[in-house]
Structure 1
Amino acid sequence: MSSLPILVLNSGSSSIKFAMYQADYGERTKIFEGAVDGIGTDNGKFWINDATGQKLVDQTPHLPNRSVAFSLVEKTLHSGQFPAPKAIGHRMVCGGPTVLENQLITPALIDEMEKYTAFAPLHTPIAVYIMRESLRLFPGVPNFVCLDSYFHRTMPEVVTHMPIPEEYSAMGVRRFGAHGISYESIVYQLQPTVPEKLIVAHLGNGASISAIRKGACVDTSMGLTPTGGIISGTRTGDIDPGVLLFILRKIAETASDASEAADKLETVASKKAGLLGVSDLSNDMRDLREAIGKGNAKARLAVDKFVWTIQKWIGGYVAELGGLDMLVFTGGIGENDIACRAEVCTGLEALGIVIDPERNNVRGEATISADTSRVEIRVIPPAEDLIIVNHVVRLLGD
């Protein structure tokens, strides 16, 4: 294999991230990366950096919808300024109960995955749209789907099976998990000495935790959708179902029909809850830290609840794993919020988790455990694009 440019497309609810890698004889070299951010807002951004971080494109376009956003990406990639991709890898949160493996994308496969939009309602619609457009705009170029849920496929049935009537389980309702490509990238980066008992906390606007034994996932906090688990920037995390029923009944008093009521409830649970809902201020940890510094009690409560929830999951996973060798923080908050890491670890000393304040005073990759800590504590940025490239190369070979 020689000269194989691979394009990675990673879509979110309001962004499209992309990167180009050169894959040669086991080597992976990043050529450039970029994103369109702020889709559907007044703060649109479009940027591309080369492998050294130098700006190649830096614009603030109007991005009213995903069509305009992806058209901007496509036209730039077809401008002749960048190498044409010979394969394309797409990140997908969950393909539903019938699509569990990373594989070649066909129109029929996209139709099948679209049936399960409710399993990742903030991500699947834009992901399937971009897949269809990619097949149309890059004719003859093989496209592959890489699933977050793929990493979690090793979880046992006692973890994946939901405590619901069988008729709904038969519809595919189960724990799928998310952030799997991020977790897979941490395991990949820890090679060849992956600890036997590992917990990874992916903390960002979307946040989750996974328990990993010998490199394989045994449990993860997110459930059927990314709304479950620990609280996130705008998501409830796990919550008493009675709370949602109460809110639904209140919404139903003014909704025109059941569908409208369900849509409004989804907005409450996925876009107005979490850090934003508790603080009544922001879903951005940086804003909350600033507000805490000014004595904002609601911001303090939101962050405390975030930390408290993470600690509970860590404690449960230590019990599930029968101990712990390493705790890894990753994601935007995990990498950059020094105070959050300290707050999470404080109080977990009985589990052998002891953080070193001086070593923790860093952003980016580091080992931050104290010499007295039985558990190694590390900060490792995820490498999701690299994992997608590796899967694309493998699938091309298959």
Structure 2
Amino acid sequence: MKVLVINSGSSSLKYQVLEIDSEKCLIKGLVERIGEDESDIEQTNGEKEYQVVAKIKDHEEALKEALKLITDSDFGCLKDLSEIDAVGHRVVHGGEKFFSSVLINEDVIKAIEENSDLAPLHNPPNLMGIKASQKVLPKVPQVAVFDTSFHHTMPEKAYMYGLPYELYQKHKIRRYGFHGTSHRYVSKKASQMLGENIKNLKIITAHLGNGASLAAIDKGKVVDTSMGFTPLEGLMMGTRSGDVDPGIIIFLLRNGYSIDEVDNLLNKKSGVLGLSEISNDMRDIRKGIENGDKKAKLAYDVYVYKLAKYIGSYVTILKGLDVLVFTAGVGENDHDVRKDVCDYLEIFGVKIDEEKNNGLNRKEGIISTEDSKVKVLVVKTDEELMIARDTKKIIEKRRI
């Protein structure tokens, strides 16, 4: 079975084609700056790379260009579009309506639209990708895989805020959590790497990219996660503030900041970028520290401190910890972050093998010592593979 996986953003469309029976990625590509005068198109097929600048007016046109490249005799991986058996879509917010991945129909589309108020930056472009796919590939079944669904096992005490209950009843204000597809993939992969049944493990997964979140997983089910009603809550991230006193927002609004200015400040100008005033990229922060930049050092220290603080709180609610997993851009590639976070966690019996840790960048494996009470792993996340797996499962059920 060949599955086309689509991750549609407001001005971008990422795609992969996977041969899901062998779980092999055949091709991957990206169309960026959709709707602008110049759009970038790039695709990789093994050692073959294709790049071009063109004018792409909308997501439907972007998908058509992607499908042309997928079936191109020189750069593609398929002879004909009829080889695509199904399309899997990343959808950020499923609200309280979707606890697992689903076959897309009109009712599902309507529900995703209704949840757009909860994720105005994500669900509308996700829908653009779905509608474009339905138009261009009308006979191919489509599946929605939700970022929020893995976190639906959280108990009420974890997802409710200390706000008037009527806000939950009227507006569904509660913790939802995000990055669920990544947390689900790496927790399962870690248990497989250890040769353990996930139902016997207490796991904390740390998805550390430009956006960052933690999940506390007990017996394969999420009991808490750091992102909340929006992806802004929780850890300090590349450009997002993470947890702040809500009174700060009220203060800024009363002192002349507009709602849009506060939104932009918290989501795009804060975090590592805001504190360092250099960059949201940890590689740039590292260079700044080496050059004696105090604000770069401050940004790094706050990032590590808040991460360790959250992990410590999750060990408490899990009543122990068997496995700690680092994943995504920073988690997979920054050995200093991993070591410095784990130094805080020595009280829980976490011990890092520095030689293994330093040698694992861009790879995956166990980085804890043999006598560490907690197994610490680096696992390369693969959200597209998880989406393709779900898509295959749903399509096969449909055929029965």
TM-score (norm 2): 0.88
Identity over aligned pairs, percent: 39
Measured in 1, the distance between the counterparts of 2:125 and 2:247 equals: 31
Check whether the contact 1:325–1:374 (CA below 8 A) recurs between aligned residues.
yes
CA deviation vs aligned residue, 1:144-203 (integer Å, no higher than 9, x gap): 100111111111111111221122101211111011100111133223513511111000
* Residue identity opposite 2:51 in structure 1: D
Measured in 2, the distance between the counterparts of 1:271 and 1:118 equals: 20
Aligned to 1:106: 105
Aligned to 1:57: 50
SS state at 2:181 partner: helix
SS state at 1:227 partner: coil
* Residue identity opposite 2:350 in structure 1: I
Q: Does 1:16 align with 2:13?
A: yes
TM-score (norm 1): 0.89
Give the one of 225, 233, 251 matched to 1:228. 233
* Residue identity opposite 2:176 in structure 1: F
Check whether the contact 1:149–1:180 (CA below 8 A) recurs between aligned residues.
yes
SS state at 1:8 partner: strand
Measured in 1, the distance between the counterparts of 2:148 and 2:377 equals: 24
Q: Does 1:144 align with 2:143?
A: yes
* Residue identity opposite 2:133 in structure 1: S
Measured in 2, the distance between the counterparts of 1:250 and 1:130 equals: 40
- Give the C-alpha shift of residue 230 in structure 1: 0.4
Change (3 A) 1:206 1:39: farther
CA deviation vs aligned residue, 1:110-130 (integer Å, no higher than 9, x gap): 233223334334322321111
CA deviation vs aligned residue, 1:328-381 (integer Å, no higher than 9, x gap): 100010000111111111121111111121111121202111233211111000
Check whether the contact 2:332–2:379 (CA below 8 A) recurs between aligned residues.
yes
- Give the C-alpha shift of residue 223 in structure 1: 0.4
Change (3 A) 1:284 1:71: farther
Measured in 2, the distance between the counterparts of 1:98 and 1:334 equals: 31
Aligned to 1:125: 124
SS state at 2:222 partner: strand
Measured in 1, the distance between the counterparts of 2:369 and 2:314 equals: 21
Check whether the contact 1:251–1:265 (CA below 8 A) recurs between aligned residues.
no
Mean Cα deviation higher: 286-295 or 316-325: 286-295
Q: What does residue range 319-330 of structure 1 map to in structure 2 within 5 Å?
A: 319-330=316-327
Check whether the contact 1:107–1:132 (CA below 8 A) recurs between aligned residues.
no
Measured in 2, the distance between the counterparts of 1:15 and 1:272 equals: 21
Aligned to 1:257: none
Change (3 A) 1:310 1:21: same
Measured in 1, the distance between the counterparts of 2:29 and 2:8 equals: 12
Measured in 2, the distance between the counterparts of 1:70 and 1:246 equals: 44
Aligned to 1:388: 387
Aligned length: 383
SS state at 2:18 partner: strand
Aligned to 1:35: 30
Measured in 2, the distance between the counterparts of 1:306 and 1:274 equals: 8
Change (3 A) 1:389 1:335: same
SS state at 1:353 partner: coil
Q: Flag structure 2 segments of 5+ consecutive residues without an equivalent.
A: none
RMSD: 2.4
Change (3 A) 1:343 1:164: same
SS state at 1:209 partner: strand
- Give the C-alpha shift of residue 296 in structure 1: 1.4
SS state at 1:369 partner: coil
